[in-house]
Amino acid sequence: MQTSAGPRARAEVDLAALRGNVRALRSRMGAGTALMAVVKSDAYGHGMLPVARAARAAGAAWLGTATPHEALALRAAGIGGRVMCWLWTPGDPWRAGIEADLDMSVSGRWALREVTAAAREAGRPARIQLKADTGLGRNGCQPADWPELVGAALAARDAGLVEVTGLWSHFACADEPGHPSIAGQLDLFHEMLAYAEKEGVEPEVRHIANSAATLTLPESHFDLARAGIALYGLSPSPEIGVPADFGLRPVMTLSASVALVKRVPAGHGVSYGHQYVTPEETTLGLIPLGYADGIPRHASDRGPVLVGGVRRRVAGRVAMDQFVVDLGGDTPEPGESAVLFGPGDRGEPTAEDWARAADTIAYEIVTRIGARVPRVHVNESRAGDENERRAGDENESCAGYENERAESGQSGGSGQRGQGAD
Ligand SMILES: *Cc1c(COP(=O)(O)O)cnc(C)c1O
């Protein structure tokens, strides 16, 4: 694609690929299931606002964030429609959340107390969603405490302080298909839903699926599926497949300009600690990205990089701002593009390759790319989206279910490979 990375480095974010991923995900869901695009943590490092707008344009009816501050930032940027956030801490801005029409998760009594107090002050009811801990053991309400939380939420509803818009939960091991906890969590979710509904809760949405469950477990879809990593074109785990297996295309391409090329003799130590020593006379390329930019130091001596059409490896330690690759005698011009990862179909490594090199998951590779790396959003306009043109969908806001059906009929889970206008 680009021949030069431009100044220093950039993370190119292909919004046509992102929209294609939204359509690929929706094509796997029934007409009764809406999609929540999870845009927390700056959209997993991809830039929250452009990603949120693109996801909406492709038919994500809901947006999801972790913190209320992230959700309020969406509103401050003028993004409408349903927005849910789930990671609340005592003292957080509940009243602002009410006034911004957020759907706010409640996992325990302290949160219900704070949100009802805020609703009294605001003079209007809060939209809350009760979260059940069906086995993740992280946030959410334990089954033993569920009757008390449900009872208190119903009392608050009857007092006009809250609307219970949702009941929801989160999987622990959805990325390991067949893991016994998956069926166990689904069973418990059904039980906790049945209890709340018997008591009189009438949730608009019930949801438990993340990306892995959206891709592999249709019985977990309920009314809403919350997709994060798949939206960004990455597989939740190599165990369930590669992105292309699901019609997904990686959205981020991280590249840098080679800062220096030089010839060095055999036996020359490279970077701090001389962990790498040149085995013979060779050329070295300096790549101006380091762990401050999110390049994992754990990938020292291992991370793959495409320079001049050839795969190279990090030579020696990744430093704060830079690392070195052994160019094996090649002499690319300084300023030539070094591609750390991208979709993988132009010979470049993928975020999954870096995850393997650094002993982590692809989520962490893209999410931790630092603020010093500019995000360059390309294909912002939908003109290049062939599927949408054929579907004749002119609706820029969150699509209605009619559009969702029309589009999923067209997209069919395949043929999602980058219809970008480049
Ligand atoms: C981050 C997150 C998701 C998205 O998970 P992916 O595996 O990226 O799809 C969904 N739900 C909750 C509660 C989350 O925190």
pLDDT tens digit string along 180-201?
A: 999 999 999 999 999 999 999 9
Q: Which two tokens stand for residue 87?
A: 């990671």
Does 397 have pLDDT greater than 80?
no
Decide if pLDDT at 401 tops 60: no
Cα 22 → chain centroid: 12
pLDDT digits (tens, 9 = 90+) for 200-210: 999 999 999 99
What does the pLDDT read at residue 94?
A: 98
* pLDDT > 90 in the chain, percent: 88
From ligand 1's centre to the CA of 362, what distance in Å? 14
Q: Which of 175, 210, 239 to mutate to test the pocket of ligand 1 (most atoms within 8 A of CB)?
A: 210
Query: Do residue 176 and residue 262 come from a single domain?
Result: no
- Higher model confidence: residue 363 or residue 408? 363
* Distances in whole angstroms, Cα of residue 222 to Cα of each of 16, 43, 229, 291, 330: 28, 24, 19, 41, 55
Quick one: 274 and 186 in the same domain? no
Residues 198 and 268 in one domain: no
**Burial degree of 78 (CB within 10 A; 0-12, 13-18, 19+):** exposed
Mean pLDDT of all residues in 289-310: 98
Cα(86)–Cα(104) distance, integer angstroms:
6
Q: Report pLDDT for 396.
A: 36
What pLDDT does 405 receive? Answer: 30
Token digits of residue 31: 């007409």
Same domain (yes/no): 205, 302: no
Of 250, 222, 227, 238, which is closest to residue 176 (Cα–Cα)? 238
* Continuous H helices in 173-270: 180-199, 211-216
How far is residue 368's CA from residue 42's CA, in Å, rounded to a whole number? 10
Binding-site positions: 138, 320
Is there a single domain that holds both residue 84 and residue 227?
yes
Q: How far is the CA of 227 from the centre of ligand 1 (A)?
A: 6
Domain of 267, CATH number, reads: 2.40.37.10
Q: pLDDT (tens digit, 9 = 90+) per residue, 16-47?
A: 999 999 999 999 999 999 999 999 999 999 99
Per-residue confidence band for 418, with pLDDT thresholds at 50, 70 and 90: very low
Ligand 1 atom nearest residue 86's Cα: 13
Q: Which residue has the least CA distance to atom 15 on ligand 1?
A: 66
State whether 284 and 196 are in the same domain: no
> Encoding tokens for residue 238?
């190599």
Show the domain range for 363.
252-378
Structure tokens at 291: 């762990």
Amino acid at 247: G
* Mean pLDDT, residues 101-122 taken together: 98
| Predicted TM-score (pTM) of this structure | 0.91
**Whether 70 and 135 share a structural domain:** yes
> Which are the contacts of 73, defined by CB distance < 8 A and separation ≥ 6?
48, 49
**What value does the mean pLDDT take over residues 225-235?**
98
Sign of CA dihedral 18, 23, 27, 32: positive
Ligand 1 pocket residues where CB is under 6 Å: 38, 40, 66, 86, 170, 210-211, 226-230, 236
In a domain, residue 301? The reply is yes
CA nearest neighbour of 364 among 376, 374, 354: 354
Task: Check residue 385 and give its pLDDT.
Answer: 74
pLDDT at 5: 44
- Residue 145 has a CB neighbour count (10 Å cut-off) of 15
Instruction: Give, for 128, the enclosing helix (H) or strand (E).
Output: strand 126-131
Catalytic residues: 40, 272
Is residue 99 domain-shared with residue 202, that is, in the same domain?
yes
In the chain, % helix, strand, coil (3-state, to 5) comes to: 35, 20, 40
In a domain, 399, yes or no: no
C-alpha 280 to ligand 1 mean position (Å): 47
Residues in the annotated binding site for substrate: 138, 320
Average pLDDT, the chain: 91
How high is the pLDDT of residue 2? Answer: 44
Distance of CA 274 from the midpoint of ligand 1 (Å): 40
Distances 175 to 25, 365, 381 between C-alpha atoms, Å: 16, 17, 33
Output 311 or 413, whichever has higher pLDDT: 311
Do residues 85 and 67 lie in contact, with contact meaning Cβ atoms separated by under 8 Å?
A: yes
Q: Is the pLDDT of residue 349 over 80?
A: yes
H helices present in 46-108, as ranges: 48-57, 68-76, 94-99
Q: At 383, is the pLDDT very low, low, confident or very high (cuts 50, 70, 90)?
A: confident
Cβ atoms of 252 and 13 within 8 Å: the answer is: yes
- The count of structural domains within the chain is 2
pLDDT of residue 364 exceeding 90 = yes
User: What would the two tokens of residue 235 be?
Assistant: 């597989």
Residue 365 in any domain: the answer is yes
Reduce the DSSP state of residue 12 to 3 states and report it: strand
Note whether 315 and 270 are within 8 A (CB). yes
Per-residue pLDDT band for 382 (boundaries 50, 70, 90) equals: confident
Residue 392 lies in a domain: no
In-domain check, residue 389: no
Position 409 scores a pLDDT of: 32
The mean per-residue pLDDT over the stretch 73-100 comes to 98
* Judgement on whether residues 220 and 286 belong to the same structural domain of the protein: no
- Hey, what amino acid is at 264? V
pLDDT of 49 > 80? The answer is: yes
User: Which residues in 41-57 are b (16+ Cβ under 10 Å) and which e?
Assistant: bbbbbbbbbbbbbbbbb
pLDDT on residue 305: 98
Beta bridge partners of 375: 11
The stretch 202-219 carries a mean pLDDT of 98
Q: Is residue 415's pLDDT more than 50?
A: no
Domain presence at residue 195 = yes
CATH number at residue 118: 3.20.20.10
User: Angle CA(248)–CA(252)–CA(255) in degrees, nearest 5?
Assistant: 140
Question: Does one domain contain both 202 and 259?
Answer: no
pLDDT category, 174, cuts 50, 70, 90? very high
Residue 84 has pLDDT above 80, yes or no: yes
